[in-house]
Structure 1
């Protein structure tokens, strides 16, 4: 009997020991941990006032790094090397190395995120916390060391590749010249800031053949005094809408405002307030959708990567058109011809009007998420609650993207046709990402 009890006790101890040995898997493979890691980068981007297109670049490269680690360790996923034509083959793990690929993916994301943002080392403390979390959860030292080493190798490869996308060259490119030609964009109050990123269309694309692949139709002719013209009707629609906003329309405009830096002016007092950029808002939405679908860690990484690539491409396509048409903002027209005291509900951003960037990038990201999670996934977006803005619920992610575009009319910063055309432009970009990037077998 004693022998039986001893054997049972030994078996129980062995079982508990085995469970403890694998405790780190539950901790480090939690998809919510990846959501938290993306949110950490999102917060850094917010605090340092990155313009939306640069924010999208940050998210794209960091997520691609994490995805390439996952693709190396999970046979269900396919590397993007070669699918993105200029992405070289990634370092492959040795057969002898014992790697926790999820942990390595987190570290690769952070290393790239650290390198493409500023100030330098912004994610160092968070990385230390991740490593401590893995160590405290009992990750064996051999696995820990191999995972760190592999995550670094992939991150270094992505960083080397990223430096060839012409971003550095555009930092010293010529500034945009504002002209007084009627119908052209000019800086708007209260900042009267110079045009943001007029050379962004020169950034290397990831899936599009060129920045102009989805060049939209020409905007309506500038005819502010022709009451029968399409342009006049569009301007009046913006003015009348803003002048009679409902509470619901105000909520929609505030919810999708996503102004990374709003200048508030009260008399002689000026101060800035910050929110997520449109790209940051969509990174949050991806996390909400993945959690709603109970996606595992690897699928969650895949979702973020697909969406971030669509956002990256969307900004390049949209900025190509913005600085081609160089179209005037509603605020400028209304102030000049109809009401010099009129102001939009939200602040006009410092770049040309056509097409709506929010409409383009929202539709692009929504297409990739619809392909992954379906067109009937209802969800509640709580992204803006930290800024004091109540959540909104949507029957599908496509409906959310449509609302994001139309919110710019309620905000008074875009004509309706710019949002409609932008939504169509974004859908084509998202569909191209789906078509050209086969990520899951």
Structure 2
């Protein structure tokens, strides 16, 4: 009889173990995290978030997800609290509570993603799908409830912290004053939009001590009178490249355009086309890195988080420099002094030229992804296919960042020096993030 009861107990334990393994195969799958980040990316695209604000959407959502992972696996991951100096300690899981930390991580990402996007609640339907997926996979009710409760408490803590980053204050800050003086930025066609987020340099960074911590040299002085001046040669270099684009260069420019809101004007009619911005593109690349290296769920979350922090800080640093330099765009100079009908290949964005934002954030993201997944990881990026743009292949994340930088010159919206300095600045920011954030315990 004792042997029979022991056999029954073993069978019950085995069934229970199988059920647990079944639901964890679903909730611990890194592909589910990649899909969840892409879901936020789609919402950012649909709602026309400017690139700098999009970076804020991604960073807080990813940090919330990561903090859940660090709480659930403290032997292998460190909390960012304290590593990010102003970040307070996050709630710890209650002892004795059985929590699926990967599932809770997904929910925390969505909770914060809901709160930092508009219309608020854009991810509610997707959250319901995640919860149903866990239930359908056999997650026990107590594990489900414990996971939801913990994810909510941690996400709320991240939201309280996020509200102190000066974002709300910059919503009512003064608008940019356009000064029509040679060498200074002025609005460009076809939108002639006002300067985008002139106070973004006042946002609280994550790893940088301040927006000005990594300075850039002064841009070449405006000088179109001297054909031997650096500025004149830079202008003519841009014009020459745009006027003689090869098929591959055209593909490169279109691939890295990442214009979240392009205004198309045909006669008296106008309409907008949307893509994800630079931050969203690099979130996609983080997903590619995760997939091609077969990274597990926790490694995947950590890599996305580190990349999003680098991108966020890179935008703050870059925007500070942009509104210190207030440099004129190539289109303005060429239209005024060389050819009034000349147009860049891609639309000039509404903010000063120096330094290149895409160069800075691409280099910063590439350094963190190299740290997370390794160097010289060749990959093909098909994330632009949804916009009808064929894939491109790269030898490494750094190779992609260099091409992203140069695409802005061939696109006609940046001088090469702004891209070169932007790349150098981004590398420094990425290095700093890698050095300061010791996320994985080796």
Q: What is aligned with 2:355?
A: 355
Which residue in the other structure is 1:412 paired with? Answer: 412
Aligned partners of 1:22 and 1:138 also within 8 Å: no
Contact 1:345–1:411 (8 Å) recurs in 2: yes
SS of the aligned residue for 2:40 comes to: helix
**CA–CA separation in structure 1 for the residues paired with 2:23 and 2:185:** 55
Q: Distance in 2 between matches of 1:424 and 1:365?
A: 13
- Report the CA distance between 1:120 and its aligned residue: 1.5
| In the alignment, structure 1 residue 277 sits paired with structure 2 residue 277 | yes
Cα offset for 1:18?
A: 3.2
SS in 2 for 1:263: strand
Q: Report if aligned partners of 1:238, 1:330 keep a CA contact under 8 Å in 2.
A: yes
Query: Which residue is 1:332 aligned to?
Result: 332
- Partner of 1:212 in structure 2? 212
* Regions of 4+ moved over 3 Å: 4-18
Hey, what's the Cα distance between the residues in 2 that align with 1:200 and 1:167?
8
Cα deviation for residue 20 of structure 1 reads 2.6
Superimposed CA distance per residue, residues 313-370 of structure 1 (whole angstroms, 9 cap, x where no aligned partner):
0000000000000000000000000000000000000000000000000000000011
Q: Which runs of 5+ in 1 are unaligned?
A: none
Q: In the TM superposition, what whole-angstrom CA distance separates every residue of 1:133-189 from its partner, at most 9, and x where no partner exists?
A: 001111011110000000001100000000000000000000000011111000000
Secondary structure of 2:265's aligned partner: strand
Task: Show the counterpart of 2:395.
Answer: 395
Q: Is the 8 A contact 2:242 2:410 kept in 1?
A: yes
SS at match of 2:128: helix
Q: Which residue of 1 aligns with 2:386?
A: 386
1:28-107 pair list within 5 angstroms: 28-74=27-73, 75-107=75-107
Q: Deviations over 1:287-331 (max 9, x none)?
A: 000111110000000000000000000000000000000000000
* Partners of 1:81 and 1:89 within 8 A in 2: yes
Quote the residue 1:172 is aligned against. Answer: 172
Per-residue CA deviation, residues 209-261 of structure 1 (Å, 9 max, x unaligned), is 11011110110010012100000000000001000100000000000000000
1:344 is aligned to 2:348:
no
CA apart distance, 1:94: 1.2
Instruction: Quote how far apart the aligned CAs of 1:79 are.
Output: 0.2
Does the CA-based 8 Å contact 1:408-1:419 persist in structure 2?
Answer: yes
Instruction: Give the whole-Å Cα distance in 2 for the aligned partners of 1:151 and 1:7.
Output: 38
- Tell me how far apart the structure 1 counterparts of residues 330 and 90 of structure 2 sit (CA, whole Å): 47
Distance 1:10 1:211 in 2: 62
**Per-residue deviation at 1:374?**
1.5
Query: 1: CA distance between counterparts of 2:368 and 2:429?
Result: 9
- Please list the CA deviations of residues 13-45 of structure 1 after superposition, one character each: whole Å capped at 9, or x if unmatched: 864553134311000000000000000000000
**Equivalent residue number for residue 198 of structure 2:** 198
How many residues get paired? 438
Equivalent pair of 2:19/2:139 in contact (CA under 8 Å): no
Do 1:360 and 1:422's aligned partners in 2 also have CA atoms closer than 8 Å?
Answer: yes
Counterpart mapping for 1:258-277 below 5 A: 258-277=258-277
1:19 alignment partner in structure 2: 18
Deviation at 1:279, TM superposition (A): 0.2
> How far apart, CA to CA, are the structure 1 residues paired with 2:310 and 2:439?
14
Cα separation, 2, equivalents of 1:437 and 1:339 = 49
* Structure-2 residue corresponding to 1:162: 162
Alpha-carbon contact 1:22-1:139 (below 8 Å) kept: no
Q: Could you tell me which residue of structure 2 aligns to residue 321 of structure 1?
A: 321
Q: Which digits, 9 at most, give the CA deviation of each residue in 1:105-126, with x for residues without a partner?
A: 0000000000000002100000
Aligned equivalents of 1:294 and 1:222: distance in 2?
Answer: 50
Q: What is the root-mean-square deviation in Å for CA atoms of aligned residues?
A: 1.6
Cα deviations across residues 49-101 of structure 1 (Å, max 9, x unaligned)?
A: 00001000010000000000000001200000001011001100111111100
- CA offset at residue 371 of structure 1? 1.1
